[in-house]
Amino acid sequence: MIFRYPNGKTYQPTEHTKHTKQQSISYSNRGMTLEEDLNETNKFYLENKTAVIHKKPTPVQIVNVDYPRRSAAVIKEAYFKQSSTTDYNGVYRGKYIDFEAKETKNKTSFPLNNFHDHQIEHMESVLDQGGISFVILSAFDDYYFLGAEHLLTFWNRQNDGGRKSITLKELQEFAYTIPLGYQARIDYLKIIDKLYF
Protein backbone atom coordinates (compact mmCIF):
# COMPACT_ATOMS: atom_id res chain seq x y z
CA MET A 1 0.00 0.00 0.00
CA ILE A 2 1.30 3.49 -0.85
CA PHE A 3 0.67 6.48 1.42
CA ARG A 4 1.38 10.03 0.27
CA TYR A 5 1.73 13.32 2.15
CA PRO A 6 -0.44 16.31 1.16
CA ASN A 7 2.40 17.55 -1.07
CA GLY A 8 2.36 14.25 -3.02
CA LYS A 9 5.61 12.92 -1.56
CA THR A 10 5.56 9.18 -0.78
CA TYR A 11 5.53 8.22 2.90
CA GLN A 12 8.60 6.18 3.87
CA PRO A 13 8.22 4.43 7.23
CA THR A 14 11.12 4.78 9.66
CA GLU A 15 12.82 1.74 11.14
CA HIS A 16 10.65 2.15 14.25
CA THR A 17 7.36 2.09 12.33
CA LYS A 18 8.40 -0.98 10.33
CA HIS A 19 8.32 -3.17 13.45
CA THR A 20 5.26 -5.39 13.79
CA LYS A 21 3.72 -6.45 17.08
CA GLN A 22 5.63 -9.76 16.90
CA GLN A 23 8.89 -7.82 16.44
CA SER A 24 8.19 -5.15 19.04
CA ILE A 25 11.18 -3.28 20.36
CA SER A 26 12.10 -4.14 23.91
CA TYR A 27 13.65 -1.56 26.22
CA SER A 28 14.95 -3.22 29.40
CA ASN A 29 12.83 -6.30 28.65
CA ARG A 30 9.63 -4.29 28.83
CA GLY A 31 8.23 -6.15 25.82
CA MET A 32 5.96 -3.31 24.71
CA THR A 33 6.54 -0.20 22.70
CA LEU A 34 6.03 3.24 24.20
CA GLU A 35 2.80 3.67 22.23
CA GLU A 36 1.37 0.37 23.48
CA ASP A 37 2.28 1.26 27.07
CA LEU A 38 0.63 4.68 26.72
CA ASN A 39 -2.50 3.22 25.12
CA GLU A 40 -2.82 0.77 28.05
CA THR A 41 -2.28 3.61 30.53
CA ASN A 42 -4.93 5.79 28.86
CA LYS A 43 -7.36 2.85 28.77
CA PHE A 44 -6.82 2.42 32.54
CA TYR A 45 -7.44 6.16 33.11
CA LEU A 46 -10.64 6.02 31.06
CA GLU A 47 -12.00 2.87 32.72
CA ASN A 48 -11.35 4.38 36.16
CA LYS A 49 -12.87 7.74 35.15
CA THR A 50 -9.59 9.49 35.94
CA ALA A 51 -9.03 11.18 32.56
CA VAL A 52 -10.20 11.04 28.97
CA ILE A 53 -7.10 10.93 26.76
CA HIS A 54 -6.92 9.25 23.35
CA LYS A 55 -4.43 8.68 20.59
CA LYS A 56 -5.24 10.97 17.67
CA PRO A 57 -5.98 9.17 14.42
CA THR A 58 -3.88 10.20 11.44
CA PRO A 59 -6.22 11.60 8.76
CA VAL A 60 -5.87 9.55 5.56
CA GLN A 61 -7.66 9.86 2.22
CA ILE A 62 -8.02 6.58 0.34
CA VAL A 63 -7.66 6.95 -3.44
CA ASN A 64 -7.22 3.41 -4.79
CA VAL A 65 -8.92 0.26 -3.51
CA ASP A 66 -8.72 -3.20 -5.06
CA TYR A 67 -11.92 -5.24 -4.70
CA PRO A 68 -11.00 -8.87 -5.54
CA ARG A 69 -14.10 -9.90 -3.57
CA ARG A 70 -16.68 -7.84 -1.75
CA SER A 71 -15.44 -9.07 1.62
CA ALA A 72 -11.74 -8.62 0.82
CA ALA A 73 -11.16 -4.98 -0.15
CA VAL A 74 -7.49 -3.98 -0.19
CA ILE A 75 -6.31 -0.36 0.03
CA LYS A 76 -3.64 0.11 -2.65
CA GLU A 77 -2.98 3.85 -2.37
CA ALA A 78 -3.78 6.54 0.19
CA TYR A 79 -2.61 10.05 1.08
CA PHE A 80 -2.07 11.74 4.42
CA LYS A 81 -4.61 14.58 4.32
CA GLN A 82 -2.49 16.86 6.49
CA SER A 83 0.56 16.81 8.72
CA SER A 84 -0.22 15.29 12.08
CA THR A 85 0.20 17.41 15.19
CA THR A 86 0.89 15.44 18.37
CA ASP A 87 0.07 11.84 19.29
CA TYR A 88 -2.37 12.24 22.19
CA ASN A 89 -4.93 14.70 23.53
CA GLY A 90 -7.79 14.86 25.97
CA VAL A 91 -8.94 16.35 29.25
CA TYR A 92 -7.87 15.87 32.87
CA ARG A 93 -9.31 17.75 35.85
CA GLY A 94 -10.81 20.32 33.49
CA LYS A 95 -7.53 21.04 31.67
CA TYR A 96 -6.74 20.30 28.05
CA ILE A 97 -3.88 17.78 27.74
CA ASP A 98 -1.84 17.43 24.55
CA PHE A 99 1.37 15.46 24.18
CA GLU A 100 3.77 13.70 21.86
CA ALA A 101 5.49 10.35 22.51
CA LYS A 102 8.95 9.63 21.11
CA GLU A 103 11.48 6.80 21.43
CA THR A 104 15.18 6.54 20.70
CA LYS A 105 17.80 3.83 20.97
CA ASN A 106 20.57 6.42 20.91
CA LYS A 107 22.75 5.84 23.98
CA THR A 108 24.24 9.33 24.35
CA SER A 109 21.48 11.88 23.59
CA PHE A 110 17.91 12.37 22.36
CA PRO A 111 18.04 13.74 18.77
CA LEU A 112 15.74 16.72 18.18
CA ASN A 113 15.19 15.58 14.58
CA ASN A 114 12.60 13.21 16.08
CA PHE A 115 10.33 16.28 16.16
CA HIS A 116 8.90 18.30 13.26
CA ASP A 117 8.31 22.05 12.98
CA HIS A 118 4.51 21.64 12.85
CA GLN A 119 4.55 19.59 16.08
CA ILE A 120 6.61 22.24 17.88
CA GLU A 121 4.30 24.99 16.61
CA HIS A 122 1.27 23.00 17.77
CA MET A 123 2.68 22.49 21.28
CA GLU A 124 3.52 26.19 21.49
CA SER A 125 -0.08 27.05 20.52
CA VAL A 126 -1.43 24.71 23.22
CA LEU A 127 0.75 26.44 25.83
CA ASP A 128 -0.41 29.86 24.57
CA GLN A 129 -4.03 28.81 25.18
CA GLY A 130 -3.32 27.63 28.74
CA GLY A 131 -3.31 23.91 27.93
CA ILE A 132 -0.86 21.37 29.31
CA SER A 133 1.60 20.21 26.65
CA PHE A 134 4.55 17.89 27.06
CA VAL A 135 6.46 15.00 25.55
CA ILE A 136 6.99 11.53 26.93
CA LEU A 137 10.38 10.22 25.88
CA SER A 138 11.60 6.66 25.98
CA ALA A 139 15.38 7.02 26.18
CA PHE A 140 18.35 5.72 28.16
CA ASP A 141 16.26 2.76 29.42
CA ASP A 142 13.77 5.10 31.14
CA TYR A 143 10.60 7.08 30.48
CA TYR A 144 10.79 10.87 30.84
CA PHE A 145 8.12 13.57 31.11
CA LEU A 146 9.47 16.79 29.55
CA GLY A 147 7.30 19.90 29.58
CA ALA A 148 6.82 21.51 26.17
CA GLU A 149 8.31 24.77 27.49
CA HIS A 150 11.64 22.97 28.02
CA LEU A 151 11.43 21.22 24.65
CA LEU A 152 10.89 24.64 23.04
CA THR A 153 14.07 25.90 24.74
CA PHE A 154 16.09 23.00 23.29
CA TRP A 155 14.42 23.47 19.88
CA ASN A 156 15.23 27.19 19.80
CA ARG A 157 18.81 26.47 20.87
CA GLN A 158 19.14 24.14 17.88
CA ASN A 159 17.63 26.74 15.53
CA ASP A 160 20.16 29.29 16.84
CA GLY A 161 23.02 27.00 15.76
CA GLY A 162 23.39 25.12 19.05
CA ARG A 163 23.24 21.47 19.99
CA LYS A 164 20.82 19.34 17.94
CA SER A 165 19.95 16.94 20.73
CA ILE A 166 19.04 16.70 24.40
CA THR A 167 21.67 15.11 26.62
CA LEU A 168 20.96 12.64 29.40
CA LYS A 169 22.21 15.25 31.89
CA GLU A 170 19.69 17.79 30.52
CA LEU A 171 16.86 15.26 30.77
CA GLN A 172 17.86 14.53 34.36
CA GLU A 173 17.79 18.27 35.11
CA PHE A 174 14.62 19.37 33.24
CA ALA A 175 12.50 16.22 32.89
CA TYR A 176 10.83 13.87 35.35
CA THR A 177 11.45 10.13 35.30
CA ILE A 178 8.21 8.15 35.08
CA PRO A 179 8.52 4.77 36.84
CA LEU A 180 6.99 1.84 34.98
CA GLY A 181 3.87 0.68 36.82
CA TYR A 182 1.46 -2.23 36.66
CA GLN A 183 -2.02 -0.93 35.78
CA ALA A 184 -1.19 2.60 34.74
CA ARG A 185 2.03 1.47 33.06
CA ILE A 186 3.30 5.01 32.43
CA ASP A 187 1.48 7.00 35.09
CA TYR A 188 2.20 10.49 33.76
CA LEU A 189 -0.81 12.01 35.56
CA LYS A 190 1.12 11.83 38.85
CA ILE A 191 3.63 14.27 37.37
CA ILE A 192 0.86 16.52 35.99
CA ASP A 193 -0.69 16.58 39.49
CA LYS A 194 2.66 17.63 40.96
CA LEU A 195 3.36 20.33 38.36
CA TYR A 196 -0.06 21.84 37.62
CA PHE A 197 -2.47 21.11 40.48
Q: Indicate the annotated binding residues.
A: 85, 87, 100, 119
Decide: helix, strand or coil at residue 156. Answer: helix
For residue 156, with 0-12 CB atoms within 10 Å meaning exposed, 13-18 middle and 19 or more buried, which class applies? Answer: exposed
Q: Give the H/E segment covering residue 177.
A: strand 176-177
Known binding residues for Mg(2+) are 85, 87, 100, 119
Residue 108 backbone dihedrals phi, psi, to 5 degrees = -115, -25
Angle in degrees, 0-180, between the axes of helices 148-159 and 117-128, rounded to the nearest 10? 130
Question: For the chain, how far is it from start to end, CA to CA, in angstroms?
Answer: 46
Cβ–Cβ under 8 Å, residues 78 and 3: yes
